[in-house]
């Protein structure tokens, strides 16, 4: 079994109004130390396979085709072998 952890976020050149809104709300609550905040999405996928290399290939394809918009977003992921419970 392989577990993939994926983070998708807007490219740094793209404005992030949701991130700005969250940052403003936190500042209103007294968290004045926050210099910047960007929002994103997190996905966790369990794959029924043993090959980490094959899992990386599949996860990369899923990210490119479904989970991210390559025009406005970037993604990163990790894969790790886990033991079944």
Instruction: List the domain boundaries for the chain.
Output: 2-81
In the predicted structure, residue 85 carries a pLDDT above the cut 90: no
- The CATH number assigned to the domain with range 2-81 reads 3.30.1280.10
Percent of the chain residues past pLDDT 70, beyond the cut: 98
In the predicted structure, residue 75 carries a pLDDT above the cut 90: yes
Integer Cα distance of 38 and 24 in angstroms: 12
Round the CA-based radius of gyration of the chain to a whole number and report it.
Answer: 16
In the predicted structure, residue 83 carries a pLDDT above the cut 90: no
Average pLDDT of the residues in 25-45: 96
């Amino acid at each position: 079994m392989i577990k993939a952890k994926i983070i998708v976020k807007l490219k740094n050149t793209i404005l992030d109004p949701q991130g700005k809104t969250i940052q403003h709300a936190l500042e209103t609550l007294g968290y004045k130390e926050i210099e910047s905040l960007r929002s994103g999405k997190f996905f966790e996928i369990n794959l029924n396979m043993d090959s980490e290399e094959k899992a990386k290939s599949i996860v990369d394809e899923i990210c490119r085709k479904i989970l991210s918009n390559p025009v406005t977003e970037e993604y990163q992921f990790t894969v790790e072998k886990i033991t079944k419970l």
